[in-house]
Amino acid sequence: MKMSGPCFKQNDNIVAQFDGDVNINATFGSELEATVTVPVLNKTGRLPVKLSIDGGNSFEHNGVFTSVAINRYKLSVERVNSDSWEVNSSVDISWDSESIGGLNDQVLIELARYEMGEDDVVLHSFRKALETSNTGRSQFVITTGQEDGEIEGRFINLVRVSRKETASNVSQSQWVWSDLFAWSNAPLAREMCRKWYMNEPNPGKFKADPSLQPCPRILTQAVADRGRIMSDEECNPSNRDGCSRYHPVTWVQINNVATIPLAT
C-alpha cells in the first residue's frame, strides 16, 4: 500500500498501524510517498490506519483502509488441482513470478496455519515447505503431522510464497498468497463431526439471545436489509463455483452481519 504525506524524510522511522494494534514497518520512497506491506488482518471492511514517523512512539496521522474479502481478489498463488490435494502426495502450485522479484531470485514456500483462539482465528505458525527459484511454478510434499494439527484444534491453511532478501527492484510485493483450504482427512472426518456437534450449545440458548434477529423471509427483503444482512462471499451469483462446493443447489447464501457470540 502506498501512503502519501506528511513530508517524509529519509531517516524517518515510518510505521503504519492497522486496526488499532497491528504495527508494520514502512519503507521510505520519497518526500511524498512511503510503502507498506499490508498484513493478514482476518477482517473485512473499513479499518482505521494510523501513521507514525518516530518508530511507533506516536501516531499523529490517520486514515482508512478497506480490507476486501480474499475471494474477491484474484489469487496470486494457484493451487493446481486443489480438490485433490492430500498429505504425503506431491502437490503443485503456480504464482506470478514477476510480482515478487526476478526469475533469478529465490523464494520461500510456506504453509500459514491458523487455528481458533478463545474468540477469534489466530495464526498458529508457518511451516516451511520448500525453498526454490522464482520460476512461477513448483511442487512439494507435506507429510503427515505437518498439515492439520491435533483433532481438537484443526488448522485452516494458506500457501505463502515470499521472496528472500534480494537487490531486485522489479518486485511489487514481498509475498503472495493462495486461497484458504483445509487438507482432506477422511479417517478423522467422523470424529471431527462428532466433536463439532458436542461443542454446539443447546438451541434453546439461541432462542433466548436478544441479539438474535429473525431471518428475512424472501431474498428481496434480505437484499434491501443492507445494514443487517449480507450475501455469503462463498456463495452468491458472482461465485457459482463456491455455491456448488459449499452449498449444493443453493443460488445465494445470506448471513447476518453481526456475529452471534454463542455460535461456534
The whole-model pTM stands at 0.57
Question: Residue 28 in 3-state DSSP?
Answer: strand
Q: Which three cell numbers stand for residue 147?
A: 498439515
Residue 200: count of CB within 10 angstroms of its CB: 12
Q: What is the average pLDDT score of the chain?
A: 80
pLDDT score, position 161: 93
Q: Tell me the one-letter amino acid at 43.
A: K
The half-sphere exposure of 252 on its side-chain side, counting CA atoms within 13 A, is 13
Q: For the chain, list residues with pLDDT below 70.
A: 42, 69-73, 119-120, 145-154, 165-173, 211-213, 226-227, 246, 257-264
The half-sphere exposure of 193 on its side-chain side, counting CA atoms within 13 A, is 5
Residue 149: count of CB within 10 angstroms of its CB: 14
pLDDT score, position 264: 40
- Residues across the chain: 264
pLDDT score, position 52: 92
Cα 236 to Cα 218: distance, rounded to the nearest angstrom: 15
Cα 142 to Cα 128: distance, rounded to the nearest angstrom: 10
Interval 75-105: pLDDT, tens: 889 999 988 888 888 999 999 888 887 777 8
Residue with cell 496521522: 61
Contact 21, 85 (CB under 8 A): no
Beta bridge partners of 250: none
Q: Which three cell numbers stand for residue 22?
A: 497491528
Percent of residues in the chain assigned helix, strand, coil, to nearest 5: 15, 35, 45
pLDDT score, position 133: 92
Cα 159 to Cα 112: distance, rounded to the nearest angstrom: 6
Domains by residue range for the chain, with CATH: 2-68 (2.60.40.10), 71-189 (2.60.40), 200-256 (no CATH)
Say what the alpha-carbon torsion angle 226, 227, 231, 232 is, to the nearest 10 degrees. Answer: 170
Q: Which three cell numbers stand for residue 234?
A: 462463498
pLDDT score, position 92: 96
Tell me which residue of 88, 92, 34 sits closest to 63, measured CA to CA: 34
Runs of H (alpha helix) within 100-199: 186-199
Contact 104, 134 (CB under 8 A): yes
Beta-carbon contacts of 221 under 8 Å, excluding residues fewer than 6 positions away, are none
pLDDT score, position 263: 46
pLDDT score, position 65: 85
pLDDT score, position 70: 60
